[in-house]
Structure formats: structure tokens, C-alpha cells
Amino acid sequence: MVQFPNGKINIGLQITGKRPDGYHDLQTIFYPIDIKDIIESISSHYEGDEITFSSSGLPVDGEAMNNLCIKAYQLIKKDYPYLPSIKLHLHKAIPMGAGLGGGSADGAFTLKLLNEKFDLNLSENKLIEYALALGSDCPFFILNTPSYATGRGELLQPISLTLTGYSILIVNPNIHINTAWAFKELKLKSHSIELAQAIKEPMHNWKELITNDFEEPVFKTHPAISELKNYLYRNGAIYASMSGSGSTIFGIFKNNMRPELIFPETYFHKWV
């Protein structure tokens, strides 16, 4: 069985306060994009460890046992101890530490794979509950539809936003941004307009209305990321922004306008 976890971009990301539990309250628009990893369950019912994990493609950061695919299996196994052993292979194509949610997508899609493969009949709400235990961004990938998110990012309200008629250029400058560092450097500030209202404005107004609060500390430390955003605007982007806590910049262009832009060889870039 194969699943194709896709990435996401954040259209706007406003941090509205710090919570007693140490997390931050936020407002953001999650929008799925067509950049995908591949997860394959190669076999099951074999002797050995409960889960055997391998990967290919982009190098996966950190210890294998901290991978969200493995944690997703262990989470389900705790409640369903009869779950058979399984071998998972992850082919990684979504850049990591990039604000595209690739790791979160992998964990959430592993939950969906296990639910389907082993006929667990888990409801969408139960899958979202498991996904939240993996990480704040994970519940979005259970719904995987444009959504207005609040709370930690787990309170999701699907919205009718569509970017049909536009092309999105995704550019990652191969700079890894640590999310914990980004939150530490963040300075809370007030916002002149609620994101839920701003997203309803014509796209040509988004530049003035929709911001990502992480841009200030990230751009200060990594001016090349700020220049990348300006580069997209100079070449015709209607709206450009950093996604998540960075370092990916995306630009939204009219479909009939796909400029041929030049990036360093180390940059990842793709039209979606």
C-alpha cells in the first residue's frame, strides 16, 4: 500500500499569544501543495521488530526512532496491540526544516495508511486526535483541504479558498530553520486585521494585509531569505511570503505568467 504525503504553505501566520501550556496561539491559512513524499508499506506479518523503517531521497534528519512515521505506528499500536508488524519505506522529496510541513504530513499519512491497511475504521475525528499527539501541524493533513487554523494550529475550519487560475512558485534556499529557535526569537505584536477577514480581500491587497510574524526574526538572521521574497515580487508575484517558520518562500503568479527565474544550484524550486 502506498500513500503520497503532500506539503503545505501558510498564507499568513499570526502569533496571537503564549499559552499556559507553553504553546502559542496562532492564526493561519493552511493550503495544500503538490510536492509529495512517498510512503510504502512493503510487508507485514513477518518475524522481527514491530516496525522496520527505511528511507531514500533527501536525507532524513535526526534519529530514525524519532521519525513521525514510526511514532504514528507506535501510537496506533498502543491502542490496538494486535496490530501486525510492518515494514515502512519513506521516499523523501519535500525539503525539511523548510516550513512546508513534510514531516507532519508523513506522520499524518502514516496514520491514514494504517487505518486503511488494517481496517481499523477510525473516524476522521479520531485520526485528528492521534495526529495532534504527533504535532500541531499534523491534524491539517488528515483533512488536507484549505483551512483556517487557530489554537496551536489544530482547530481547523475548512474554507472555500482556491488558487485555480494561479501558479505557485515554491523556492527553498537550503537554509534549515529550527522552529524552537524561531519561536524564541519571536516578538508578539498586534495585528490590524483578522486573518479570516484579510483572506477574503482581493489577492492584490494581500501584500499589505497578510503577514507572517516569523519573517522578522528569520529575515534579520538570514537576509538571503528576505531578498528571495523581494526577488519574486520584482518578477511579478501578486503575493509572496515565507511559509511557516521558514525557510521556504512562495510566490503566487497569474497562470499565464511564469517568469524564468535563476536560482543557485543549491536551491530547491518548483512550480505547483
8 classed as catalytic = yes
Q: Give the pLDDT mean for 186-214.
A: 92
- How far is residue 50's CA from residue 197's CA, in Å, rounded to a whole number? 47
Distance CA 2, CA 4 (A): 7
Residue among 92, 137, 213, 229 flagged as catalytic: 137
Mean pLDDT throughout 238-250? 96
Q: Would residue 37 show up in a list of annotated catalytic residues for this protein?
A: no
Q: Of 8, 92, 112, 229, which is the active-site residue?
A: 8
Strand boundaries in the chain, DSSP class E: 2-3, 6-18, 24-36, 38-44, 51-57, 86-92, 147-150, 155-158, 166-172, 239-242, 249-254, 268-271
Cα dihedral 241→242→243→245 (10° resolution): -150
Task: Give the pLDDT confidence score for residue 43 in this predicted structure.
Answer: 66
For the chain, the structural domain boundaries read 2-158, 166-271
Domain 2-158 architecture: 2-Layer Sandwich (3.30)
Each residue of 167-190: pLDDT tens digit? 999 999 999 898 889 989 988 888
Separation of alpha carbons 246 and 74, rounded Å = 29
| Strand blocks (E) in 99-192 | 147-150, 155-158, 166-172
Nearest to 35 by CA among 63, 14, 71, 7: 7
Question: What is the distance between the alpha carbons of residues 237 and 257, in angstroms, rounded to a whole number?
Answer: 9
Backbone angles phi, psi at 68, to 5 degrees: -70, -20
| Residue range 62-112, pLDDT digits in tens | 776 789 999 999 999 999 998 888 999 999 999 988 999 999 999 999 999
Please give the CATH topology (third level) of the domain spanning 166-271: Alpha-Beta Plaits (3.30.70)
